[in-house]
Amino acid sequence: MHYDVFNGDADGIISLIQLRLSNPLQATLVTGVKRDIQLLKKIEITAQDTVTVLDISMEKNSACLIEMLNKGHDVFYADHHRCGDIPSNKNLTALIDLDANTCTALIIDQHLNRQFHSWAICAAYGDNLIAKADQLAKAAGYDQQQRAQLQELGTLINYNGYGSQLSDLHYDPADLYRLLLNYVSPFDVIADPNSPFSKLQLAYQADLNKALAISSQYSSALLSIFELPDQAWSRRISGVYGNLLANQQPDSAFAVLTENSENNYLVSLRAPLNNKQGAGDICSQFDTGGGRAAAAGINNLPRNELSRFIELVELQYKS
C-alpha cells in the first residue's frame, strides 16, 4: 500500500496534483484541515508500505518519520516548513527548502522539470508568494488576465483549507484533490462551470465581506490585529484574510484572531511582506504554534498570553 500524506491547503493539494499527474498511483489519502499537520500519526503502516509526505513540517512529525524509516519504509518528503534535523537514512528522499520565497509546489515543480508549471504557479499564488508567482507567470508568458486567474484559483483552494474541523470547510481536502486531479491545467478548472471554482468563488466573497466589516482590535506601526467571532465563516477566512491584509500594507505584520470554543484564540500571523522572516519562530514559542518564516499560526492561544504575543511580534520587527 502507498500513502499520500499532504496538507489540506493549496500548496499541499497542488503539490500532490503535480506528482500524480506525472506518476499516477493508487494511494490512501491522508490529509485534513490546513492546521492539522501531525498527519503521520494517522498512519499505521505495515509490511512494504511506502509514503509520500507533502507540505507538513518534518519537525512536527519527526518521531513518526524516524519510526517509519527505522522499520524500512521508503518515504518521499517534500516541504518548506521548519524541519529540525533531517534524518540520514537510505529510505528517505527529502526535498526540503526553507527559503521564504518558495513553497512545496515549487519544490515539486523543480523536481518534475516544470512538467505542470501552471499548477505550481497557481499554488505559489495560493501560498501568498505573489511576487514570486508573478515573476514565474510572466516568464512563462502568461498575460495579466491569466495571472489574475491563477491567483484567484490558488487563493480559493487555500481558503478552503482553513477551519478547525472538516465540517467548517466547503470541501474535504481529499475530495477537492480528487476533483482537481481531473484537470491537467488550472485554466481547465476555471473554464469548467461544473468544477469547484464557482462554488468556492461565491463562498469566499461572502465570508470576506463579513471580515471586511470588522475594525482592527489593535494597531501600531508594526502590527495590526483583527479579531473574528467563533463562527465557521471566521475560521474559513482567517488565513486568506491575513494574506490580503499583508499585501495591502507590506511593511506591517498582521494577525487575525478567531475566538474558539475554549474562549481562547486561533491565530494566523503574517510577517511583513518586505521582511518575510520570524513568523514561525514567534508562533513556535507557544505550545500549539508553528509555521514558516513568512506565515505561521497558533491553534489555541490563551487570552492571557495575547499581550506576550504582541510583544514578541513587535520585538521581532522593531528594527
Give residue 89's pLDDT band: very low, low, confident or very high (50, 70, 90). Answer: very high
- Per-residue pLDDT, averaged over 71-82, amounts to 96
How high is the pLDDT of residue 164?
87
Give residue 47's pLDDT band: very low, low, confident or very high (50, 70, 90). Answer: confident
Among the listed residues 141, 138, 166, the one whose alpha carbon sits nearest the alpha carbon of residue 8: 166
How high is the pLDDT of residue 25?
95
Give residue 261's pLDDT band: very low, low, confident or very high (50, 70, 90). Answer: confident
pLDDT digits (tens, 9 = 90+) for 189-205: 999 999 999 999 999 99
Q: Which residues contact 297 (CB under 8 A, 6 or more apart)?
A: 35, 239, 266, 267, 268, 269, 283, 289, 290, 291
- Per-residue pLDDT, averaged over 259-281, amounts to 94
Q: Do domains 2-200 and 214-316 have the same CATH topology?
A: no
As a CATH number, domain 2-200 is: 3.90.1640
Q: Is the pLDDT of residue 3 over 90?
A: yes
Return the percentage of the chain with pLDDT > 90, whole number: 95
Mean pLDDT over all residues of the chain?
A: 96
- Per-residue pLDDT, averaged over 173-181, amounts to 98
How high is the pLDDT of residue 124?
98
For 214-316, CATH number out of 3.10.310.30, 2.60.40.10, 3.10.129.10, 3.20.20.140 equals 3.10.310.30
Q: Is the pLDDT of residue 149 over 90?
A: yes
Domain boundaries, the chain: 2-200, 214-316
Q: Is the pLDDT of residue 56 over 90?
A: yes
Single pTM value for the model: 0.90
How high is the pLDDT of residue 165?
92
